[in-house]
Structure 1
Amino acid sequence: MKRRFELRAVKEAPQERDLAFATVDDGVWETKYEDLYGTLDFGASSAQGPRESMEDCAYVIPRARCGFLFAAVFDGHSGFAAAQYLSEHLYDCFSDAIDEGAYGPECSIDERETGGICCPVELSSLLADSFRETDQKLLSWLQSSAPDDEKNAGATATIALVRRDKLVIANVGDSRAVLSRKGQAVDLTTEHRVTGSGPTVEAEVHRVEDVGGWIEDGRVCDVIAVSRAFGDREFKGDGAKSMLQRGVSEEWWDQEFADSKDITGNLLEATPDVVEAPVREDDEFLILATDGLWDVVTSHEAVTMARSDFKKRKSAEYIADRLTKVALQRRTEDNVSVVVVDLTGKDGWTKPKQKNSERWKGVFGMGN
């Protein structure tokens, strides 16, 4: 039986960390960042939709490193294990990378968080490194600790580091980040797929084929619809051998076809595209969402709806919930996770203030 639509927001208490500043202490934030950047209003929403299980997750840390709000949407497949792991570890890996790469005397005292850790840091390469490192740790964890039916799980990820002066977006897979610039929708991500046309699709197809893979029916090896993802151990390293044999056992192809394939590298990768840009005066808000929203709502429609609600003094939380419900009303066939971040602050539209917790994680059926 299919489950009915349901929303659940799980607000976690801060956790103890051995490493400094997995999140920024409130006292540090108020001293260093409150006057400079302020606290951004955000909303997050997750819904299972018509799927038999929930594999999406939305995650927000409003007071993150270097004055940023950290927001992410994770879209799992072949189970929830990979998306859950990313929600628990990707930010920490990013934070650890800041600790490892941001010491030194080159920054002034007022640019430091504590103990010599310097902000700003070069974020594009740091994010790419932390994505790849997290993927390696995830693959090891899936092999050793995931339930047997989720050892081949994977997940896409779109994350945003947001301040009033700066946006940094990193994307792996087919979720999307959209900026409202004076009411116009600006896509900040490109979906990593092997169907359709355009330079990104062509580059992804060539990368897959160069390591011995193939594209069939818009899918990598006729199996998976995205060309970049975390996890998916059957499409990385030696795992491809088991994917080829599974195809034989499932009668997707015969043994002769499997024997003819010489896969020499990763068919999927977790290297993100990273966009780093200043926030302009006419930039209004940011929407992150999994493809369960974008399959039925265009970027322009989402921005138009959200902007209308902001002008009616609705909160970002209200708008995230509304976008999720619109996707369900339009009969999306997928799970949906949405994060909305207001960039305007007190000088923009006035709206009710939301009590932002240390972390926000929205999932349905977590741990099932």
Structure 2
Amino acid sequence: MLRLCYTPFDCCFRRRGGGADSLLWHTDLKPHFSGDFSIAVAQANNNLEDQSQVFTSPSATYIGVYDGHGGPEASRFVNKRLLPYLHKFASEQGGLSVDVIKKAFSATEEEFLHLVKLSLPVSPQIASVGSCCLLGAISKNVLYVANLGDSRAVLGRRDADRKNSPVVALRLSTDHNVADEEVRREVEALHPDDSHIVVYTRGVWRIKGIIQVSRSIGDVYLKRPDFYRDPIFQQFANPIPLKRPVMTAEPSVIIRELETEDLFLIFASDGLWEQLSDEEAVEIVFKYPRAVSVFCNS
């Protein structure tokens, strides 16, 4: 089900030129069972914290965008573990489902937690490493999108009734970022006894003044009291007065049966969406007259 049809991440990008352009990577179009895909990365610094992957077979396609923060360890871990867990549970339960996807996320989180426990004495900073996760799966003409954090999946859909442009953008994922008022209210409702659970600092809203996203893999010091109270970790970071976990690894999941009007998909981390609106990104892709699923990571 997860037969590889691409070269490994570390060597699948083509570097373009030198200087600043050496941090712009891309792949040429490659086929999957219902179209084509491509990958692009605009690397922000020399220590790449993000990972991305595409698996494709004659019957299914799987897409992952893993936006790391605090270090590369969590995103690299997710890149190796999430899809194998998805394959394992789908095989055991007779196919993809919301339950299968949530079990794969939970198993990945638990295994990373175990790694953090083992690594804490020599690398206490690993308790503060995390990754947003955006997963897409297309099987039997059904699309599943699961998300932790603020990476985003957007569908380009044909709309013949529009006069200016025959394509519309449909967002398929939820941004778990407290910059969004609804997400702030969700976090505040879970912590009614903490008036400082979300604070405005350094120009943005942050949970406990630390992090903007409310869901991730990792960030275990914000999820497990035994970590943020651990003397080893407190030698690395200041103590955080938490009464209970302030983040979760529970993904939001949508299911959509694909239709003939659905033209292409864009999967990208927040680096793209901070620069382009959903509509702008869809208009750019639509300028190329071909049916293509596009996977972007920035």
TM range (shorter): 0.7 to 0.9
Equivalent pairs, count: 260
CA RMSD of aligned residues (A): 3.1
Confirm whether residue 302 of structure 1 aligns to residue 281 of structure 2: yes
Q: CA deviation at 1:196?
A: 3.3
Deviations 1:242-292 (A, max 9, x none): 59x859965xxxx8xx6xx4513x211111000001001100000000000
Compute the TM-score of the two structures, normalised by the length of structure 1.
0.63
Residue 229 (structure 2) aligns with? 241
Q: Secondary structure at the match of 2:98?
A: helix
**Higher RCO (C-alpha under 8 Å, 6+ residues apart):** 1
Amino acid at match of 1:190: T
Matches within 5 A, 1:152-301: 152-163=128-139, 165-182=141-158, 183-198=167-182, 200-209=183-192, 214-217=197-200, 218-237=205-224, 238-242=226-230, 246=234, 250=238, 261=241, 263-264=243-244, 266-301=245-280
> Deviation per CA, 1:70-113, whole angstroms, max 9, x where unpaired?
001000001001000001110001111123323xxxxxxxxxxx
Secondary structure at the residue paired with 1:4? helix
How far apart, in 2, do the equivalents of 1:52 and 1:77 lie? 14
Deviation at 1:40, TM superposition (A): 3.0
Separation in structure 1 between the aligned mates of residue 195 and residue 138 of structure 2, nearest angstrom: 39
Which of the two has greater strand per residue?
A: 2
SS in 1 for 2:38: strand
Q: Percent identity?
A: 24
| Candidates 51, 57, 64, aligned match of 2:51 | 57
Mark the runs of 5 or more structure 2 residues left unpaired by the alignment: 1-18, 159-166
Residue 96 of structure 1 aligns to a residue in which SS?
helix
- Whether the aligned pair in 2 keeps the contact of 1:128 and 1:272 (CA below 8 Å) is yes
Map residues 13-52 of structure 1 onto 2, 5 A cutoff.
Answer: 38-49=33-44, 51=45
Distance 1:99 1:134, change over 3 A: same
TM-score (norm 2): 0.77
Largest Rg, 1 or 2: 1
Could you give the per-residue CA deviations for residues 36-81 of structure 1, whole angstroms, max 9, x where no partner exists?
x9443111122213x35211111100128xx220001000001001
Q: What secondary structure sits across from 1:304 in the alignment?
A: helix
1:25 aligned residue: none
Tell me, yes or no, if structure 1 residue 80 matches structure 2 residue 51.
no
> Unpaired runs of 5+ in structure 1?
11-36, 103-120, 325-336, 339-368
Distance of 1:173 and 1:204 partners within structure 2: 13
Note the C-alpha offset of 1:9: 6.6
State how far apart, in whole Å, the 1-side matches of 2:77 and 2:54 are. 15
